[in-house]
Amino acid sequence: MIRPQRNACRHFADLSGVWRIAFDEDGTADWSHGIPADRAYPIAVPGSWNEQLAEAGFMNFCGAGWLETEVFLPALAPGRTLALYFGSVDYYGEVWLDGEHLGASSAPMLPFEVAVPAHLATGRLARLVVRVDAQLHPDEATQGITQATYAEERRPRDEYLPAVRFDFFPYGGINRPVLLAETPAQGLTGWRAASDLTGVTLAVEASAGATVRALLHDASGGTLSEAPLADGHAELRLEPLVPQLWSPDNPHLYRLDIEVLDATDAVIDAASQHIGLRSFTIDGARFLLNGEPITLKGFGKHEESPLHGRGLNLPQLVKDFHLLKWIGANSVRTSHYPYSEEFLDLADRFGVLVIDEVFSINLDFRRINAATLANHKRAVAELIARDASRTCVIAWSLANEPGYLAEPNYREASTPYWRDLFAHARTLDPTRPMTHANVGYAGNDDPAFAEADFIGMNRYHGWYSNPGQIGAAVEALRHDLDAVAVHGKPVMLLEFGADALAGQHATYDQLFTEEYQERLIAAYWAEIERHPAVAGGHVWNFADFRTAQHGRRVVHNLKGVFTRTREPKMAAWALRRMWGAA
């Protein structure tokens, strides 16, 4: 699957706008030919339905929503084809066009594409209907639960509304753009571009053509390479005369143009991407970028904003990258799911290193089965297929906080699971390091550590344990770091932090104050810099974000160093000083 592009061979129409939605609250409706007019609400796409339609009663709705719009289908010339490309439908999508079923999504939070039958593309308007299901399946890599689950497990104090296993809001809707793409019926089917310090190795797949031609160029010039297609495959190497490397300080990007030629040297298909030349490796307990040691400093984030929910919010996205540079960050983890392709575009452009995370949160090993592992593998495969050619992506995170429920069988059940999953990921991308985000309940001897290339840890001493006691929190953190250092791998503190209500202050160590958040983060960062096994840290979180309702949350998780609307708290200014940006 190739992300839609515009060039001489490919183009697309963006279907963003105000659509219509009706909610199927009992899950039995069939509105594939169109939603009932008397039940329809206007809704902006991309965008989550929750905050948009809160006043209509759907703030906490996690069932099925049916969305529709009209789309113009151009008459196709011979040898051309149409497809509908969905950046993400949360969590599952099914598509009809004029009542004809076209297909469904695959792994949640990732793109999918459905072909438009040629007999429908006759230069006319058609009705596009998308059924969105916002209830996760129980055998997904992030397992879905219901309100009844809390009672079954005798855990009423853990109950969230809506019912979730994670601490962010389960927004439903078409949250990324929908594009109508026109492409050659035969031509490029995909490529993998891998860069190093001297150039780019390119592997191209095509369903037709005789030759692949590629040009790697920037303002100073370019280098051209050609290779014959053999059984639909070609490999090329492109090396600039004077390579310019990509880094956070100098995110230099080349443009890579790929063309497929027929036997007469006519171009039958073309596509392009931007790419930087860089390496990212591990040396003992250190990360090396372009052969030089680098300490990763940055944040876990969320794709989330007022009114939009998880819907793509380009102005906020641009603002966030400017704030990342302002504060001195050089990296982000896509906690806890794949972020939009637009996010990755900006990460490439701004020089922000990305630990790309699969949508797998708090995996409960009491409930795993063969389908769970199969779905987890599918999510890994589709994430790597989408992002493996990205310069900014330096590592893959395969799960966040499995064993969160302290399941007694976690170690026994998870050992073969992690062995299988990590091995699967490495067959798909042997070039990048792999990790996962360990939670304290899973222990400092988490079986996933044996499979990971570096140790990822989430720790909240000073908040969930040792509350208000920074000295004791640092001692507990040091104990954990010493314990995991024996694995002989770099350690990355992937989450640490404290909630702070903007404007709340105290002269002593008081939870929820800006002073306490600042002091705890500073103490952790000092330990990160001191400990020889630690290669970096990500503060949790970049900005405050909405959660499902729970007694421990006042609407939002307040661990952001920026508010939900991006005003800096005291901790943001402190990090700017600590990270050398001030």
How remote is the C-alpha of 16 from its chain's centroid? 21
Bond from prior residue into 91 cis (ω within 30 degrees of 0): yes
8 A C-beta contact, residue 148 and residue 135: no
| Helix (H), strand (E) counts: the chain | 9, 33
CA quadruple 570, 571, 575, 578: dihedral positive or negative? positive
> Are 545 and 560 in contact, with CB atoms under 8 Å apart?
yes
Q: Please report, as a single letter, which amino acid is at residue 381.
A: A
Distances (CA, A) of 179 to 19, 84, 337, 402: 14, 6, 22, 35
Q: Quote the CA–CA distance of 280 and 338 in Å, as a whole number.
A: 20
Query: Kind of pairing, strands 455-458 and 434-438?
Result: parallel
Question: By C-alpha distance, which of 397, 439, 444, 443 is closest to 418?
Answer: 397
Q: What does the DSSP assignment read for 463-519? A: TTBSTT-HHHHHHHHHHHHHHHHTT-S-EEEEE----B-TT---SS--TBSHHHHHH
Strands 221-228 and 188-195: unpaired
Which residue in the list 51, 113, 407, 495 is annotated as catalytic?
A: 495
- Both tokens of 183, joined, read 């492409």
The two tokens of residue 343 are 């996010």
Q: Which two tokens mark 433?
A: 């390091």
Catalytic member of 68, 401, 407, 514: 401
State whether residue 570 is helix, strand or coil: helix
DSSP state of 552: T
What one-character-per-residue DSSP string does 115-170 give? EEPGGG-SSEEEEEEEEEE-S--TTSSS----HHHHHHTT-GGG--BS--SSSS--
> CA torsion sign, 293 to 299 to 304 to 306?
negative
Residue type, 515: E
Q: Other CB atoms closer than 10 Å to residue 363's CB: what's the count?
A: 26
Told to judge if 401 belongs to the known catalytic residues of this protein, a careful annotator would answer yes
Task: Give the dihedral sign, CA 209/195/399/428.
Answer: positive
Residue 182 annotated among the catalytic residues of the structure: no
**In sequence order, what DSSP letters do the residues of 316-346 get, joined into one string?**
HHHHHHHHHHHHT--EEE-TTSPPPHHHHHH
Contact 293, 284 (CB under 8 A): no
Residue 436 DSSP class: E
Catalytic residue annotation:
401, 495
